[in-house]
Structure 1
Amino acid sequence: MAKTGMVIVSHSEEIANGVVKLASEMANDNVEFRAAGGTGDGRLGTSAMTVLKAIESLSKCKSILIYCDLGSSVLSSETAIDMIDNTLLRAKCHIVDAPLVEGAFFGAVEAAASDDVQKIITESDNARNLHKN
């Protein structure tokens, strides 16, 4: 089974790192995580360059799933994907429309068992139906 890459994009470096820590507890060696939180200089916000570096570091993965927290994190991720010159790498990238924490967690569980990108995305999306009471 090929590795799946997961990039966690948050306005907060601490949140991105925390989600990576949580989701990686449910994964195995089939999943590689990268946190892409904050602006790169300690401020809150997002950086397309930080996301791009995370994506490029996962270039050997079969697919790269990008989980975002809020609006501009999606824009930064889209910009990062647009900046990729390598069409094969660009084709591996998928922005997942799922809740950040729960989606990454469910996705990590599925990616530990399968490298089927559509199954992983579907499981991530199913996280939005998780009821907490």
Structure 2
Amino acid sequence: MALFLLIFAVCLFVIGGVVLILLFSRTPRYRTEPKQLLELFDKALANQVGENEWNVVINYPIRHDDYLEGVRRRAQHLMQEHGRPWQLAQGKPLLDKTGREELSALRSHLASHQRLRERQRSQP
């Protein structure tokens, strides 16, 4: 009987510990920041980004910043309209000429918006 109680207590302790850990642990969150989008856009414009890297960042919704979500959606739309991922294996760019021009404009807009935000934060 003592062995049964010992095994029962150990199992109860392990299961209770796992339940407590699961109750108090948070789900990891991934936050896309403007710097990451700018780096991705720079890589895309320099023909150094792969389709997987593009899709990982652009297809993940941004819930903490409405402006960044709009930029992400615009980049996603650019890929749908002007994307040529099948030509990456041949060393050609991810986007066609029009798509690269629009991505360059989007990148410039995001960079200027980010500079404005940083300037507003630094002023008291």
With normalisation by structure 1, the TM-score equals 0.28
Higher RCO, Cα 8 Å, sep 6+: 1
Query: Which structure has greater helix proportion?
Result: 2
Name the one with the larger strand percent: 1
- Structure with higher Rg: it is 2
